[in-house]
Structure 1
């Protein structure tokens, strides 16, 4: 299978230039349903299966789950910064290095699955309360000084959910573990 397809099984993020409330509602729905979908996907996996890489030189399923927890926690914090500071420059982090830390490689996935469930419940509640003006606020990503609006970031993280879900799902299909 082609490496690019293994890396981006649903393609790269396609955020429309004109983001509508319909887009935002659909993306929030993805965030709301994701924790349950992810738990169902991985609930019966063995330790060996969890420690299988989804692609050559990629992360294990365990690392992906811990990465999602870490990444979404960082994103939630970025939303809060954006609404409490004037165009903040966010703190970037080395997700590849985080994925190599001992907890990402060995901790029980339930720790991150429970974190994702709680975080997404709080995040979705928060997002549903944002005004059009709030959604237009933006932070600055230090890589390239890119301005990212909160409405764009909702789309990016809806994609992120589906992206990593599909990494795991495709591996399970390829291995006949489903």
Structure 2
């Protein structure tokens, strides 16, 4: 399956018939390290009306630093191999229809500063491993279907607003978790 472009905002510039070095750098929403190379560093495709599953070809953009696919109609899960893009500093997948759980592998993205996953249909717990993202400055998972205890982040990068409308979440800065139901008999 591939990404659909019903508004035809990309078709005019996304022409794969010319495969000379650097051709991809002329695509709408794509920025490269150098215009004559095909080393993609930024993808900004927000609010383009794109729909379909998360584009798996992004895994080939191994120099990628910014991935902004917000405000589209992406479906399916966030792939765990997103962590194979080691230089990512910003991931904005907000305002889509993504479902499933947040991949714990995101914790391997040691340069990540911004992680916006709000306004999707994500379920399950927020991986506790994300608390190890020491460079994280902005984090939002608001308006999903998440549950469980929230990770403890350093430097106060999250507020109640970061978790809004996930009724199953608990732990600081939210309401305390009720551990009475989790008593283990000895």
> Structure 1 length normalisation: TM-score?
0.24
Task: Return the structure number with greater helix share.
Answer: 1
- The structure whose residues are more often strand, as a share, is 2
Give the TM-score of the pair, scaled to structure 2: 0.24
Q: Which has the higher contact order (CA 8 A, sep 6+)?
A: 1
Bigger-Rg structure (1/2)? 2
